[in-house]
Chain A
Amino acid sequence: MKLINRTGAFGRAAARVGFKGFDGAPHLILFIITLISASVLVAVAAFLIFGSLQAFNVIGPVELLFGESWRPTSFFNQAFGMLPLMVGTFLVSFLASIIAIPIGLGCTIYLAEIAHPRIRAFLKPAIELLAGIPSVVYGLFAMLILQGWVAQVFGLQHGYVALNGGIILAVMMIPIMVSLAEDAISAVPRELREASYALGATRWETMRSVVLPAAMSGILAAIILSIMRAVGETMAVLMAFNQTPILTLDPFSGVQTMTATIAIEMGEAAVGGLHYSALFAVGVVLFVITLLMNTIANRIMSRYAEAYR
């Protein structure tokens, strides 16, 4: 039996309210701090849901979620259909993903399995550093430089299109993906690689048939978490292309993402009005999407941890 030392008022209070095994005041304080942090999640959810109730009531959930036009400020023709915004977010994130996933996985495999340790010791921190650059800096680059390249390569009048956002988001996704996926690959025990080499397998065969399958769930989680980054990004998206809520999957068109919608329109919406409430509803949808993706990533990761129990 462990002796439990309950001292001070907090300790006695903790003992009284039945926190068995709590070790006095420090434990109670830490518990309260943690509780406050966790309750922020509940507070944010409640804040969004209460704010959006009006929109869901007046507009109706089906029209609000799947309506095809978003015209919040039109005087004769006002419409609050979120579909263009969701498709906009999807389009930009999708473009970013198809660029970032192959490049990110390529970098990961190179760093984890091919690069000399000295090269790796230099390159991996360099790539991880990219994750720390403020998104407004990426936005600036997309707005001032990348845009021109996109216009030139694809023969457009200007490059403020969804593809421009997709490219800059891909650049932002890669460091997260590489960092997490490389950790997953490095966590594959050396003994498994040795077993494969000892059977006469080449490095490539070992990587393809032993290391990657063993690390697959960690790699998938890395991909999902980096997609979350793209879905949630606001500033770089805002600066990369014209925000126009058109329902389209054309990468050479301007679109409007959910995050950008909130950022742009919150300032001009009358507090307590329908538009204001509809923006909260956009927030609810974003919240649900990220929560879902996070849950999926966690599930996959825990399954992966189990594989090496």
Chain B
Amino acid sequence: MSSIEVNNLNVWFDDKQALKGVNMTIPEKGITAIIGPSGCGKSTFIRSINRMNDIIPSCRVQGQILVDGKDLYGPGVDVTQVRKNIGMVFQRPNPFPKSIYENIAYAPRIHGTRDKKKLGEIVERCLRRAALWDEVKDRLDKSAYDLSGGQQQRLCIARALSIDPEIVLFDEPCSALDPIATAKIEDLLEELKDDYTVVIVTHNMQQAARVADRTAFFYLGELIEFGDTSQLFERPENELTENYITGRMG
């Protein structure tokens, strides 16, 4: 299993610095929440962990992120290999305009699994893992767009699990969902945390308090405080953190 060690991470978009000297070690397994006001760099941070920021031409990254002791930003590192080992779920459900089955089978197939039986097993396992199997098992060949928003997001979680990652990143996964769908996703997070290192960005402090084992507070591109969720919410050490969680700022 994988811990994530971030050493002096700096990220720029053109001249604007989005992350400033972030140091933190995210232990393996469990749920780590990233909170902070809009524009604090929390999305940039999580997107650094699977090098999604590389897509943006104006982005420049300096520093180290070690997963299992290997630097993701080291020389000669293949970006697709990095992403192959880290799952990601996005703000809005973004299933492919394909069938439910094809959404899950997509990644295993491009990574070389051709065997139909094996693909079928992966599809079932991932859908079960995402608590979606019973709802869709009779219509795997139907378009993913026929599902509700919450189901689509669970499909996206199943898709993220299809690459058999050890780390799964959630970038505000419930921001487009209603409370019931949100509760289902949160239940799911609880179940995943025993097997995966889960990092979740959320703008919802209650959500962080409900699901996360550890919480990190970002402000203006800096990591202000990082610790056990209960400690951070009940006895924050930093004044900025206290201002934010009590609603005086943000």
Taking the nearest CB of chain A, how far is it from the CB of B95, in angstroms?
8
- Among A196, A200, A202, A210, chain B packs the most CB atoms within 10 A around the CB of A200
Please provide the chain B residues from 18 to 72 with a CB less than 8 Å away from any CB of chain A in the complex: 50, 52, 55, 57
Query: Would you call B235 an interface residue if the criterion is a C-beta within 8 Å of the partner chain's C-beta atoms?
Result: no
Q: Which B-chain residue is minimally distant from A210 (CB atoms)?
A: B96
- Once the chains bind, are B83 and A195 in contact (CB under 8 Å)? no
Query: Would you call A20 an interface residue if the criterion is a C-beta within 8 Å of the partner chain's C-beta atoms?
Result: no
Query: Would you call A192 an interface residue if the criterion is a C-beta within 8 Å of the partner chain's C-beta atoms?
Result: yes
Please provide the chain A residues from 171 to 189 with a CB less than 8 Å away from any CB of chain B in the complex: 189
Query: Would you call B117 an interface residue if the criterion is a C-beta within 8 Å of the partner chain's C-beta atoms?
Result: no
Query: Would you call B129 an interface residue if the criterion is a C-beta within 8 Å of the partner chain's C-beta atoms?
Result: no
* Further 20 A-B residue pairs, CB within 8 A, beyond A196-B96, A209-B110: A191-B90, A191-B92, A191-B94, A192-B94, A192-B96, A194-B94, A195-B90, A195-B96, A195-B159, A198-B50, A198-B83, A198-B160, A199-B107, A199-B110, A199-B163, A200-B85, A200-B107, A200-B111, A209-B106, A307-B145
Q: Which A-chain residue is minimally distant from B55 (CB atoms)?
A: A197
11 interchain pairs, CB-CB under 8 A: A192-B96, A192-B97, A197-B83, A198-B83, A199-B87, A200-B80, A200-B81, A200-B83, A200-B107, A201-B106, A214-B97
- Once the chains bind, are A199 and B83 in contact (CB under 8 Å)? yes
- Once the chains bind, are B92 and A198 in contact (CB under 8 Å)? no
- Once the chains bind, are A202 and B52 in contact (CB under 8 Å)? no
- Once the chains bind, are B57 and A117 in contact (CB under 8 Å)? yes
- Once the chains bind, are B106 and A197 in contact (CB under 8 Å)? no
Query: Would you call A265 an interface residue if the criterion is a C-beta within 8 Å of the partner chain's C-beta atoms?
Result: no
Q: Which B-chain residue is minimally distant from A206 (CB atoms)?
A: B110
Query: Would you call B241 an interface residue if the criterion is a C-beta within 8 Å of the partner chain's C-beta atoms?
Result: no
Q: Which B-chain residue is minimally distant from A216 (CB atoms)?
A: B97
**With A and B bound together, what is the CA distance between A150 and B21 in angstroms?**
64
User: How many residues of A are in contact with the other chain, CB < 8 A?
Assistant: 23
User: What string of 1s and 0s marks CB contacts (under 8 Å) between A92-117 and chain B?
Assistant: 00000000000000000000000011
Q: Which B-chain residue is minimally distant from A201 (CB atoms)?
A: B110
3 pairs of A and B residues whose beta carbons are closest in the complex: A200-B84, A191-B94, A199-B107
**With A and B bound together, what is the CA distance between A83 and B87 in angstroms?**
60
Q: Which B residues are in CB contact (< 8 Å) with A192? A: 94, 96-97
Query: Would you call A205 an interface residue if the criterion is a C-beta within 8 Å of the partner chain's C-beta atoms?
Result: yes
Q: Which B residues are in CB contact (< 8 Å) with A210? A: 96, 106
Q: Which B-chain residue is minimally distant from A205 (CB atoms)?
A: B110
Q: Which B residues are in CB contact (< 8 Å) with A117? A: 57
Q: Which B residues are in CB contact (< 8 Å) with A196? A: 96, 106
- Once the chains bind, are A201 and B107 in contact (CB under 8 Å)? yes
Q: Which A residues are in CB contact (< 8 Å) with B92? A: 191
- Once the chains bind, are A194 and B162 in contact (CB under 8 Å)? no
Q: Which A residues are in CB contact (< 8 Å) with B98? A: 213
Query: Would you call B156 an interface residue if the criterion is a C-beta within 8 Å of the partner chain's C-beta atoms?
Result: yes
Query: Would you call B88 an interface residue if the criterion is a C-beta within 8 Å of the partner chain's C-beta atoms?
Result: yes
**With A and B bound together, what is the CA distance between A209 and B145 in angstroms?**
17
Q: Which B-chain residue is minimally distant from A118 (CB atoms)?
A: B57
Q: Which A residues are in CB contact (< 8 Å) with B110? A: 199-201, 205, 209
Taking the nearest CB of chain B, how far is it from the CB of A79, in angstroms?
53
**With A and B bound together, what is the CA distance between A197 and B87 in angstroms?**
10
**With A and B bound together, what is the CA distance between A309 and B97 in angstroms?**
11
- Once the chains bind, are A194 and B52 in contact (CB under 8 Å)? yes
- Once the chains bind, are A202 and B80 in contact (CB under 8 Å)? yes
Taking the nearest CB of chain B, how far is it from the CB of A306, in angstroms?
10
**With A and B bound together, what is the CA distance between A197 and B83 in angstroms?**
7
